[in-house]
Amino acid sequence: MKTTIQPFGEFEGHNVSAYSLENKNGTRITVLDFAGIWHEYSVIDEGTRVNMLLSAPEMSGYTDNPFYINRLIGRVAGRIKDATFKLGDQLIQTPQNEGDNSLHGGGNGWSNTMFAVKFDQNSIVLTATITSAQDGFPGNLESEIRYTLSDDDTVTLTMGGTQRETDGVFNPTSHAYFNLSQSDDVSNHELQLNSKVHLAVDAGKVPTGELIANHNSPFDLRMAPDLGAALATLDKTTAEHGFDDVFVVQGPKIASLKDKVSSRTIDVISLRNGLVVFTANSMTSDMINNHGNGHKWVAVALEPHTLPNSENIPSFGDVRLKKDETRVAEIVYRYHK
């Protein structure tokens, strides 16, 4: 593997660096030490390098907006109702960073951390300890995240956490946005999901515990994976004008995203039961990126994790992490044509 390190600007007084791995096929991944931002997943296709991630040319494209573009999300992903949950007999209060709720770990977890980074053979390895004083969640979390590139162009994201001091919670993900085409939106993509139901949510987009059947609706991407057709319907029938939804999925292959023009495809492999699909419905034009600027449907975020608000809805899954316990979550992104 070829490795390189290059400067990538500054953020809040920190120098940010970009770490790259390139395999024998010329496939390259690049990760920033700020927030573990996955800046590049590019392949050589018919002589042209194509970055399949939505990517900003400078730090402001990642930081001057609320969309968590390509950031690592931890300790927990998704929304927690009223930013509170029970852990044993204790009521835990976490930061309220979206109205009364907690979103993506409260705003001071992995998504706003400067990581220590090193190369380890075919992996980019990020480490940090997230303290309770930093993010407002119980205990300290020793974190190790690996982006591993194989010679068959597959990327494996391994997210590990070891809980210290007291019991806590752990439910991480990647907020990676994909556009596999060279067009300015994803309406020419197919998105096939291994899902029969999605979650009902309240006015704050927090899951209520109710399940809604996907059948005979734009949400039925298992049987009708035409993303453009689904978006055209949602544009007319929903306040979001696109997807911002949580699907209950069954692995190991939970999703497959394909550009119908080039046939570039990424399969998403996960053993966890949830996938958030967000089609950048409200992205604004001031976000300059590799598809021009920010606009509706410029890319689609695919966020695998245990169903959100599971801290308050036990049937959604167990995200509790005991003191001194280590847990590892894995997402595999398999590229092919």
pLDDT of residue 121: 93
pLDDT of residue 235: 97
158: nearest Cα among 316, 271, 61, 260: 271
3-state secondary structure of 252: coil
What Rg value do the Cα atoms of the chain yield, rounded? Answer: 19
Cα–Cα distances (Å) from 305 to 20, 246, 266, in that order, read: 26, 10, 18
| Average pLDDT value over all residues in the chain | 97
Mean pLDDT of 116-125: 97
pLDDT of residue 68: 97
Mean pLDDT of 311-324: 97
CB 10 within 8 A of CB 105: no
Percentage of the chain surpassing pLDDT 70?
Answer: 100
Per-residue pLDDT band for 3 (boundaries 50, 70, 90) equals very high
pLDDT of residue 256: 98
What are 134-150's pLDDT values in tens digits?
A: 999 999 999 999 999 99
Mean pLDDT of 75-104: 96
Per-residue pLDDT band for 273 (boundaries 50, 70, 90) equals very high
What are 213-272's pLDDT values in tens digits?
A: 999 999 999 999 999 999 999 999 999 999 999 999 999 999 999 999 999 999 999 999
77: nearest Cα among 207, 228, 215: 207
Distance CA 238, CA 59 (A): 32
pLDDT of residue 242: 97
Distance CA 262, CA 255 (A): 18
CB 337 within 8 A of CB 313: no
